[in-house]
Chains A and B, each alone.
Chain A
Amino acid sequence: MIARVIVTPKPVVNDPQGLTVKQGLTSLGFREVSDVRIGKYIEVNLDTSSEHEARERVEAMCRQLLANHVIEDFRFDIEPEHKRR
C-alpha cells in the first residue's frame, strides 16, 4: 500500500510562505489568486495488503509524528502500490 499524506498549516496559523507566494503570483498577473497555503507532501510505503489496516496505521503516524496538531492539519489517500503514479 502507498499512503499519500498532505500536511497543511491550520487556517488560524500565519503562513508567511503562502503569503509571499501569493504576492508573487499576483505580480505575475494571476490576479484571481485569493489565498495560497503551503504544506508538505509525504509518501509512505506500507508492507500490508489491508487498506483498512493501512488507514488506521497512517492515521496514527500522522497524529504521533507526521503532523503537529498544534499548528497543522493532515489528510491522506491510500492506494495499492501498483497504482503508483
Chain B
Amino acid sequence: MKFGVVVFPGTWSDRDCGWVIDQVLGQELTYLWHKDADLKGCDCIILPGGFAYGDYLRTGAIARFAPVMEKVGEFADRGGLVWGICNGFQVLCEAGLLPGALIRNASLEFRCEWTNLAVERTDLAFTSQCEEREVLRVPIAHGEGSYFADPATLSRLEQRGQVVFRYCDSNGRVVPNANPNGSLHNIAGIVNARGNVLGMMPHPERCSETELGGTDGLKLFRSVAESAMKVLVS
C-alpha cells in the first residue's frame, strides 16, 4: 500500500500523517507537493490538516486550484481512495468531491479537544477494522468545522448512509452536548456515494500511538492498509 500525503503551503499535519504511515504502520509513503501534477503511483491520497494557502477567502478555497488537486479529482473519479482530514475535508468540499461545506464553529472558538465518534459505516476501506457502532476517541483542532448542507443534500446523505462519523458521548449516544462545533446532525465525517472519498474533521493521525493518549485513529490507517491487502488477495 502506497500512501501519498499532499503538502500545500500552510499544511501542518503532513508529517504527523507520514509518521503514522511510515513509522507506526510500516507502509510505503511519499509526500506530494501541491505543484506535483503526478500522484506517483499512490493507492491512497491523504489531504492533511492545516491552513492550505492560509485558508484565504474561505477554508480550502484556493487549495482546490493546486495542480495536484486536478490529479486527485481524476484519481477519485477512477475510484481511488482519497482521505481528507480537517483542512483536507474542507478542501474536498470546496473542490466538489464531497457535498456541503464547513463553516465557523457555532461557539466562534477554535476547539482543540478530544471527541467521541460513533462509527456508522464499517464496510468502507477507511473503517473496515472498526466494529459496528464502535465509539472512537479522536481529537479535533479546528475553528471552522461546523458541517453544513442544504436540507435536500442532508437528507440524501442520510438516506444513502454517507454519514460515517457522528460526534457522540462516551456511550455512543448522538446528543447535542457531544457536538463541539454546531455541525448539522452531529456530522464529523462523510463519504461520497461511491465510498472512496472520505472527509472528516477529527485527527486520527494524532491518536495512533499510546504515547499520544490513544490509538483509535490507527484503526482507520490500518483499515486502509488492509483494504489494499484484500484487493491483492481477491
Contacts and interface: CB of A to CB of B under 8 A. Distances in A.
Nearest to B103: A71
A70 B182 contact: no
Contact of A14 (B57, B61, B93, B146): B146
Given A68-B101, A70-B101, A71-B101, A13 B148 contact: yes
> Does more than half of chain B's interface fall in helix, strand or loop, or is it mixed?
loop
A66 interface: yes
> What band does the interface of chain B fall in when counting residues whose beta carbon is under 8 Å from A?
10 to 19
Interface stretch (B104-112, B115-123, B159-167, B172-180): B104-112
22 contacts: A9-B103, A13-B103, A13-B148, A14-B106, A14-B146, A14-B148, A16-B104, A16-B105, A16-B108, A17-B104, A17-B108, A66-B57, A68-B58, A68-B61, A68-B94, A68-B101, A70-B99, A70-B100, A70-B101, A70-B150, A71-B101, A71-B103
Interface of B: 57-58, 61, 93-94, 99-101, 103-108, 146, 148-150, 182
Interface of A: 9, 12-14, 16-17, 20, 65-66, 68, 70-71
